[in-house]
Amino acid sequence: HLQRTTRRDVSLLLALEAQRLGGGAEASSALFSTLESAPGFLGNIGADQRAPAFTSVAVTADNHLVVGDAAGRLVQFDMATHRRLGHPVQVGDRGEQITLLATDPAGRHLVVGLDASRAIYLFDSGALSALRPEGGGSGLAVELADVPSTIAVSADGAVAVSGRDTGTVTVLDVGTGAIRATIPAAGGPTAVAIAPDGTLAIGSSEGITLFERDTYAPLASFSGDGIAAGSRTSVSARAR
């Protein structure tokens, strides 16, 4: 029988199509807003109406939509057919919601952060469909010194993770989990981003600082008044 179509159903389908045709920040924001505004309804793409609310979203290289939910599970949907793929995969401890999802620009790797866990989980996005529903070793778990607050992933596999309380940003390898550098951020990190050339940008209450790709040496600092001369940032970089 035909399901009754609601305005929220239409909004979701339009948001999915915008993401499929080109994506971008606005399309991703619209898609997440639609999912967030009506958690659990999603009848047209095969979600269980009793399922926990979706809390984060990312898109992989094979054009799959990956969402994290409030029960700590990853759920996949095919963006072309709007159908759910496989079964939800448990990440970390049951009941701890997924608050962070990030992919590299090509969508080949997926990084997952949980609400109150110091661990992040690294996945090959192409292998997600083959994972067991209850997890059990799915994804590489990397224990950090602090609960992550923001994540960015570069094209060459660098993952930048800012901590909530330590005032540092940890840079690690998405494939192995090996730590490349630990960078203190004056005022505490509030945002991280990685440019196509690998330059790392760290935002804090005192401004934004740019760091060189390989050594993570500071390049320049920006504040509300423009570029600030010099930098007092000390970087602990590890050989790769």
Q: For residue 175, how many other CB atoms are within 10 A of its CB?
A: 12
Interhelix angle for 25-37 vs 7-21, to 10°? 160
Nearest-angstrom CA–CA distance, 230 and 209:
10
* H/E run at residue 141: strand 140-143
Percent of the chain whose predicted confidence (pLDDT) is above 90: 37
What pLDDT, on the 0 to 100 scale, is given for residue 188? 86
Residues 6+ apart with CB under 8 A from 1: none
Q: Is the pTM of this model over 0.95?
A: no
The two structure tokens encoding residue 194: 């990685």
Q: Which of 103-117, 123-137, 154-168, 201-215 has the lowest mean pLDDT?
A: 123-137
What pLDDT, on the 0 to 100 scale, is given for residue 119? 92
Nearest-angstrom CA–CA distance, 88 and 68:
9
pLDDT in tens, 84-132: 888 888 887 777 899 999 999 888 899 999 988 999 999 888 777 666 5
What pLDDT, on the 0 to 100 scale, is given for residue 125? 81
